[in-house]
Chain A
Amino acid sequence: MRALVKLWELILERFHLKEFLEHPVPRYSNINPLYWFGDVAAVSFFLLALTGFFLALLYTPSVNVQQIPASAIMKWDQLYGVEGGEVSATGSYLSVYKIVYLTPFGFILRQFHLWAAYLMIMAALVHFFAKFVLGAYKRRGGGALWLLGVLLGFLTINQAVLGYILPLHLDGILALMIGLNLFRYFDYLGIPVGGTIIALLGSNYPTNEVVKMIYVLHILIVPAVILILLGLKIQGILYGGVSPPPVRNEALRQKMVEDKEPFYPHRFALMVGQVFLQISFLLLLVAFFPQPLLEPWAPGQGVPTGVRPPWPVMWYYTYVKMIDPFISVGLPFLLVLFALVVPLLDRRGGVSVSERWVWILIAILYMAVIGYGTVLGFIVDIPKQITPFTRIVVPPDSAVPYAGTPTPVG
């Protein structure tokens, strides 16, 4: 025991970790819930990485159609009405099926990864809203952190969509095919997105190469970028401090900012508690709300109607269904761009609620756009365009004529 303590002290000393661990942090951010959710998102990221390592080892990217033998189909899992016979599915689906049903603890592993991802997105959204309300970008260095945060949020949603595609269940295939073809509306503006996708990925239909690329993006490239940006952000918060408390009284605010405690052990203990609470919360979600592995699909099979996207992108689904695609395709980019320019527009005034109620209303409106679309997508399935936006007429030279010469055979 004494040797371990000695070793720990040696590590602290040799790597100069004491400065890092004992740097002073303000006390006010402990009690205000607006300061909690960045931590939740960051811890979720590390839990995702941990579970992701094992999933990456067990998963195989492949679109080759294989059969799930009847003997491997779980008895309690009637597998979408298929009785007795084999089920054809892609290699990716089969490997996820093996993880979920035929690997010890595989079910919990995948469920934990899924729920941690949902929690990370939810926490990131709440964190974004909280910092919007607090006007966190107003302090010195806050603008850069805000910029990093918006980029991280964008990457998080991307990561969620990429991960959702990987099992290549029906919904994942639809997400992939929509992702590969959606932005071809830019072709109308003369930007050759369709050609570029084929030049980069080799196909606008799922192939082994495309799925491999998505796999590498999901497990390596995007997480690496997230990790770098997250490191920068933590560094910025470490030495720049968190956003000042939303208090109007200058003297009181100054007092609150200067009331500090060392990170270790005070805040460290809280963080350990948070990690364990988060793990147990996620395990509870896994136990009580397990998300089934969705149904398989192989090329050429019929697709049932009524497939909906998962909630993180439900609002986008609702708006592109409601509004003309020429207008609504760019909506996420518009939201990200607006979030990026917020620090440039909102410059005056203090940080308290009474001084910046206009921007708090804008923040609520911003979240309401996303929330309204999400809720609407879940409660009604919009049959067709219901908004007054008129459909843009296709330019005559963009209409697709029948390309061949019709020749009868009998």
Chain B
Amino acid sequence: MVDENRRNTIKILIGTTAAVGAGMLATPLLASIIDGRAGYVKPETTGAVKVEICKDVNSCPKELGVPLDELRSGPVFKLIRVNSMAIPAVFGLVRATDGKEYPAAYVAICTHFGCPLNVMGGKYLTGFNCPCHGSVFTVCNDPEGCYEEEKAEETKPNQERRKILKARFLEMYVSGGPAVRSLRSIVVAVKDGVVYPLVAYI
């Protein structure tokens, strides 16, 4: 007493559903392989997502900026809201080895597992530490870039120890703990004594 017609209809319905479902699941995966063209927010090669906060300094709203005078007394935390996003930014002045002060801003999310970071340094921004798993980020304050000496066991015999580039200027590199990537930065520009965020990599 099996109605073959009905059974076939059910088979077709289930088959169509399965095909559509599989397609829906596979599309984003395929899109990620074929250069992410399915309307995704495409990350940079670094895995960071580029977010434009202001087109340029002149059109940036006043409330997004942090006055330099405020920064001179220490790093400042600011929650930047762009569309649906909230970006936890820490603005600060970095004192470089050439004696000058450079304004910089970073996304205060640990690149290890995403915990909120604590700021280190008093008047000047020197680094961040992560309360969760103990990663420490330190700013490279040498305009020539920060180098470290090659390890003794890796040096070839009869050769001087080479210097390896550890971080470029103002890069917030990992100086301890389990994190593997440097902190994500925010491009800043200064106008009329106010530091504005332009582009964030989150």
Contact = CB atoms under 8 A, between A and B. Distances in A.
A and B pair up: yes
Contacts of B86: 203, 205-207, 299
Interface string A378-410: 000001110000011010011111111011111
B114 A177 contact: yes
B163 interface: no
A306 to B, nearest CB: 8
B84 A174 contact: no
B32 A192 contact: yes
A402 B112 contact: no
Interface string B161-202: 000000011111000011011111111111000000011011
Contacts of B14: none
A325 B109 contact: no
Nearest to A305: B131
B113 A406 contact: no
A398 B45 contact: yes
B114 to A, nearest CB: 2
Instruction: Report the contact-size class of chain B (Cβ under 8 Å from the partner).
Output: 35 or more
B190 A407 contact: yes
B178 A204 contact: no
Contacts, number: 181
B182 A299 contact: no
Contacts of A365: none
Interface string B5-44: 0000000000000000000000011001100100111110
Contact of A400 (B32, B87, B183, B198): B183
A189 to B, nearest CB: 9
B61 interface: no
Nearest to A298: B79
A207 B86 CA distance: 7
Nearest to A391: B180
Contact of B131 (A196, A206, A307): A307
Interface of A: 173-174, 177-182, 184, 187-188, 190-192, 194-196, 198-199, 202-207, 209, 299-300, 302-307, 320-321, 325, 383-385, 391-392, 394, 397-404, 406-410
Interface of B: 28-29, 32-33, 36, 39-43, 45-49, 68, 77-79, 83-88, 93, 96, 100-104, 109-118, 131-134, 143, 168-172, 177-178, 180-190, 198-199, 201-202
